[in-house]
A and B are shown apart, each in its own frame.
Chain A
Amino acid sequence: MDYNRYPEIQAGGKPFKKMYIAIMLWVVGRAMQAAARTDRELKEEFAALRDDFLLKLWVLPGGPAMLVGKDQKGRVKYFGWKESGEKPTLTMSVKNIEAAMLMFTFQESTTIATARERLVVDGDLPDACAVVRVLNTVETYLLPKVIAKLAVKRYPKWSQMNPFKKHLGRIAVYARTFIGV
């Protein structure tokens, strides 16, 4: 057998998809920070989390990643895409880039993705429940209803009952996400 006919193959990359996911993770991370300052229920969810809460949501095997946690003053902060010494208390690892694409193009909600074994959750598991609820709320803020409904099991009533609150809240979250107000 001529071994040269069957060389080693290094798996290629998916740079555009990786970039898309990186952007989406940035948006979601910033939006979590923003929504925690805007939405009362989210403030309460985060308040109930441990003081050193640090979530790492990332794509195996090498990123991109998003880190969100509480700073020393207990405020929710987006900490960027690189770990810097503090070990995450909760890690949600999406098994591969395509699974991440399914999640962040809303073909599979976080809940469906979990039911379909697309991600692995490690660390303080009770906090994971809060994080999924937070992600659901954040997606409801960021996305139009027709898409958000794909991403969540039950579209929250507050957004249907109080258009003033809904629109004001949405504007605030967008502003805080993208401009960092």
Chain B
Amino acid sequence: MQSPGYYQFFSHSKILSGKKAMEHIPFELESLNARKPLVITSKDVTDNKLTKKFLNAMKDSGMVIGALYDDAPAYSGSTIINELSKLYRFRGCDSIIAIGASPVSDIAKCVNLLATFKEDNILDFRDRTITGHMRPLIMIPTAGLLGGEMSNIADVESFSLQSDELYPDAVVLDGRMTRANSFMEVVNSAMAALSHAVGASALPHNDPINDAYAHTAIQFIYDHILKAARRPKNRKAGLALANASAMADVCFSNSPRDMVKLLATAMYQEMNIPHGISMGILLPYHLQMKLDSKKKVREELLLAMTGIDEYAQTPSKERASRAVQLLWKLHEDLAGILPRSFNSLNVPRYKLDVIAERAALLSEKRYTAKECLKLLTQAWEGRA
């Protein structure tokens, strides 16, 4: 095991996971001195009967919900954020419960900012350092997570806010809420989580705490993704993958965005391809490239993927390449759901330059456009 180096690490959220997890929410709010939440969610959550499940879980608690807003749009815009903060104050709310995936989580974090600091316009927070103690925020993720819901990052329109104050106080992972509806939902979320976790474990400094979260995320994914992809409604697998997303979000919050993430972001902006799918395509190419150019690939990835027995039996020199092999294997096992290359998604070749440049720009000089293009091209061409 590598010796720990210099690092800084923080994860604020309390994780509650398992049977009847939602029923613990009133107690958690009470322990944060809150009793009247504003609930923010989206229509698809209500249509999937999940809002009803949430309300049932709150029964007997005596809780008064200030308002249940389930019209959150598919875009975290400043207008809706500003409006919701007014509703929060109008009803005398003292906390927020967010149910769903992005952008519900982004909207909720931003509303919480306005509510805490008693301000009216989220755009005023752009480029501001956020300090101070926030009002309570509880996150109940559903399926179809895009990554980052439980992190310290909130996306607003065209910019992002990042601060440790943006972490939810509690993340409630309940099997009733995390069942997926489609294979695509499962794979999109799982690949986003896997990439975040793998990316976080490739930090130049040795952060054993971040490693522990990454390890847990990867383990959850490898143990359950095939089950979940075959039967999206499998409750146990859905809950395990939600756990993986939660752990991966912690890693994501504590490490810079790697090339895979940046390319996926640029790809989404240019071609509207979901982040998780892009990351799922890019990940094995990225690690293969590192292996081939003799750059470090952590052998501990294999431990997370296979468990102690296979890891211990694999000679140390071969562990990194075996881990990469397993990434390729996963790619194959998910054939039909996870595309093999960007070419097969009809991404035009001429777009690759623009996407690579955008990714390099987002990296703030950590990566060059040339490096990004190299990886992107390989992932576009596909494996022979």
Does A touch B (CB under 8 Å) in the complex?
yes
**Which of A3, A6, A97, A102 contacts B60 (CB under 8 A)?**
A97
Chain A residues contacting B67 (CB-CB under 8 Å) are 3, 6-9
The docked-state distance in angstroms from the alpha carbon of A97 to that of B19 is 13
**Which of A8, A18, A96 contacts B26 (CB under 8 A)?**
A96
Asked if A13 contacts B60 (CB within 8 A), the reply is yes
The docked-state distance in angstroms from the alpha carbon of A97 to that of B62 is 11
Chain B residues contacting A102 (CB-CB under 8 Å) are 19-20
A126 contacts partner chain B, Cβ-Cβ < 8 Å: no
Asked if B62 contacts A8 (CB within 8 A), the reply is no
Binds A, one of B83-91, B202-210, B264-272: B83-91
Chain A residues contacting B68 (CB-CB under 8 Å) are 6, 9
A75 contacts partner chain B, Cβ-Cβ < 8 Å: no
The docked-state distance in angstroms from the alpha carbon of A110 to that of B62 is 25
A62 contacts partner chain B, Cβ-Cβ < 8 Å: yes
A1 contacts partner chain B, Cβ-Cβ < 8 Å: yes
Nearest residue (CB) in B for A21 is B60
Nearest residue (CB) in B for A95 is B27
Asked if B62 contacts A96 (CB within 8 A), the reply is no
The docked-state distance in angstroms from the alpha carbon of A12 to that of B18 is 23
Nearest residue (CB) in B for A17 is B60
| A1-B87, A6-B87, A61-B26 given; A14·B20 CB < 8 A | no
B345 contacts partner chain A, Cβ-Cβ < 8 Å: no
Chain A: interface residue total (CB-CB under 8 A): 24
Asked if B24 contacts A96 (CB within 8 A), the reply is yes
**Which of B30, B56, B60, B65 contacts A9 (CB under 8 A)?**
B65
Q: How many A-B residue pairs have CB under 8 A?
A: 74
| A95-B24, A95-B27, A102-B20 given; A61·B62 CB < 8 A | yes
Chain B residues contacting A62 (CB-CB under 8 Å) are 62
Restricting to B45-65, which residues have a CB under 8 Å from any CB of A? Answer: 55-65
B144 contacts partner chain A, Cβ-Cβ < 8 Å: no
The docked-state distance in angstroms from the alpha carbon of A98 to that of B26 is 12
| Chain A nearest CB, measured from B365 CB (Å) | 42
Chain B residues contacting A17 (CB-CB under 8 Å) are 60
Chain A residues contacting B75 (CB-CB under 8 Å) are none
Chain B residues contacting A6 (CB-CB under 8 Å) are 67-69, 87
Chain B residues contacting A98 (CB-CB under 8 Å) are 20, 23, 57
A99 contacts partner chain B, Cβ-Cβ < 8 Å: yes
| Chain A nearest CB, measured from B334 CB (Å) | 34
Restricting to A83-103, which residues have a CB under 8 Å from any CB of B? Answer: 95-99, 102
B136 contacts partner chain A, Cβ-Cβ < 8 Å: no
Asked if A60 contacts B27 (CB within 8 A), the reply is yes
| Chain B nearest CB, measured from A30 CB (Å) | 24
Most buried by B among A8, A11, A18, A62: A11
The docked-state distance in angstroms from the alpha carbon of A145 to that of B69 is 49
The docked-state distance in angstroms from the alpha carbon of A116 to that of B87 is 36
B66 contacts partner chain A, Cβ-Cβ < 8 Å: yes
Chain B residues contacting A18 (CB-CB under 8 Å) are 60
| Chain B nearest CB, measured from A118 CB (Å) | 8
Asked if A11 contacts B61 (CB within 8 A), the reply is yes
Chain A residues contacting B64 (CB-CB under 8 Å) are 8-11
Restricting to B194-240, which residues have a CB under 8 Å from any CB of A? Answer: none
| Chain A nearest CB, measured from B27 CB (Å) | 4
Chain A residues contacting B30 (CB-CB under 8 Å) are 61
Chain B residues contacting A8 (CB-CB under 8 Å) are 64-67, 91
The docked-state distance in angstroms from the alpha carbon of A17 to that of B60 is 10
Asked if B20 contacts A3 (CB within 8 A), the reply is no
Q: Return the CB mask of B1-28 against A: 1 if under 8 Å, else 0.
A: 0000000000000000011100110110
The docked-state distance in angstroms from the alpha carbon of A1 to that of B111 is 15
Asked if A12 contacts B59 (CB within 8 A), the reply is yes
The docked-state distance in angstroms from the alpha carbon of A18 to that of B26 is 17
Chain B residues contacting A3 (CB-CB under 8 Å) are 67, 87, 90-91
Nearest residue (CB) in B for A59 is B60
The docked-state distance in angstroms from the alpha carbon of A81 to that of B27 is 22
Chain A residues contacting B83 (CB-CB under 8 Å) are 1
30 A–B contacts from the bound complex (CB under 8 Å): A1-B83, A3-B67, A3-B91, A6-B68, A8-B64, A8-B66, A9-B55, A9-B64, A9-B67, A10-B65, A11-B60, A11-B62, A11-B64, A12-B59, A14-B59, A17-B60, A60-B26, A61-B30, A61-B62, A95-B23, A95-B24, A96-B23, A96-B24, A96-B26, A96-B27, A96-B61, A98-B20, A98-B57, A99-B20, A99-B24
Q: Which 9 A/B pairs are nearest by Cβ-Cβ distance?
A: A6-B67, A11-B58, A9-B65, A98-B23, A11-B63, A96-B23, A97-B60, A14-B60, A95-B27
User: Which B residues lie at the A interface, using CB under 8 A?
Assistant: 18-20, 23-24, 26-27, 30, 55-69, 83, 86-87, 90-91
Extra contacts, 8 of them, besides A9-B68, A11-B26, A11-B62 (Cβ < 8 A), are: A3-B67, A6-B87, A7-B67, A9-B55, A11-B55, A18-B60, A95-B23, A96-B60
